[in-house]
Amino acid sequence: MRPSPCCGRGWRPTRACSTPAAAPAASCGGWRGSCRRARSSASTSPPAWCPRPGARAHGLDHCAFFQADVGDLPAEFDEAFDVVYSSLAHHHYPDPPAATREVLRCLRPGGLYCVVDPGPEWFTTMSAPLAKLSDPGWIGFHTPAEFRRLFEAAGFARTSWRELLPGFGLAVGQKA
């Protein structure tokens, strides 16, 4: 399994797909609960409507990107990914338990769901009122313990939390 860093509008999936051996990875992000998928295969070209213009401009015609509701991902994603990475987006998901269950369904055995988001209780308590006023897509933050419970309830075999910066961390769930 080769973890591929992916997030945002596609520059990291494009970079990850520049190597044909890159493992399939998904990135979840955006206040609308979107999920983008990058697929790398040197022998298979996606339909013409799939590649992002930026990927094509760099000669990467073996990348395909999909957008879907993270709480109701397409059936074709079943056990399709080694890594799903969500950066500063999980607090925008309208139904975090559904999103987490869907991500688990889309992971291959041993796959990882990595979420970078605010977490420690002191930070979420302090920043939630400001987030509610300033961010129209904000739904709610999770503490490290809440992330672990959320992942465990979805069926992840292993969970962890690592602080990255004061107030922000990495929640990880691993599929059995």
Where in the chain are the domains?
11-174
Structural contact between residues 143 and 119, judged by C-beta atoms closer than 8 angstroms:
yes
Helix axes of 144-154 and 96-106: crossing angle, nearest 10 degrees = 60
CATH superfamily of 11-174: Vaccinia Virus protein VP39 (3.40.50.150)
Neighbours of 77 (CB within 10 A): 20
- Predicted pLDDT at 85: 85
- Predicted pLDDT at 46: 38
- Predicted pLDDT at 10: 42
**CA atoms lying within 13 Å on the CB side of residue 128:** 13
Task: Provide, for the chain, the percentages of residues in helix, strand and coil under a 3-state DSSP scheme, each rounded to the nearest 5.
Answer: 30, 25, 45
CA distance 153 to 84: 18
- Predicted pLDDT at 81: 83
Residue for token digits 């889309």?
A: 106
Residue for token digits 């605010």?
A: 118
User: Residue 107: beta bridge partners?
Assistant: 81
- Predicted pLDDT at 40: 38
- Predicted pLDDT at 168: 95
Residues of the chain scoring pLDDT < 70 = 1-56, 58-66
pTM greater than 0.95: no
Residues contacting 126, CB < 8 A, separation 6+: none
Residue for token digits 């930026």?
A: 54
User: Residue 36: beta bridge partners?
Assistant: 27, 67
